[in-house]
Amino acid sequence: MKKFALMILITFGFGQTFAQNLQMPDTLKATMKIMGDDMKKLIAQSNKAELNSESTATAEELVRLIENAKRFNPEVGDKAEYLKAMEKTKALATQLVDAFKENKNNQATDILKALSGSKREGHSNFKD
């Protein structure tokens, strides 16, 4: 019985990861392009509390895109350092999800500024 439960868990677990990856872009460039679009949207609406549930969903997509970006190699720089930078960026995006969920819009605005910093730093270290 325990084995059966474990099998169900594994099947659904993989199924979900697989389904999410299927919807994700296949190149770093395409991944970053959508990240850029999502960030623009979130910056524009970060102080609009009435849009917080939509912002939460967009921030959740941002987290998935950052996770997806880890599958690729950077244009320049060390892969291990690149992965560390992505993990930091992902942690910020995860905090952003929580801020929107909890209607903490001032906090969301601050986190978006930190994310813009990660972007600047990431691009200066890993982009041609």
If binding is defined by CB under 6 A, does position 28 make contact with ligand HEM? yes
CA 85 – CA 58 distance, rounded (Å): 21
If binding is defined by CB under 6 A, does position 122 make contact with ligand HEM? yes
CA 74 – CA 82 distance, rounded (Å): 7
Amino acid at 75: E
- DSSP state, 51? G
Number of other CB atoms surrounding residue 76 within 10 Å = 10
Query: Residue 71 or 127: which CB sits closer to ligand HEM?
Result: 127
Over the window 49 to 88, marking each residue x when it contacts ligand HEM by CB under 6 A and - when it does not, the resulting string is -------------------------xx------x--xx--
- Binding positions for ligand HEM, rule: CB under 6 A: 28-29, 32-33, 35-36, 39, 74-75, 82, 85-86, 89, 115, 118-119, 122-123, 126-127
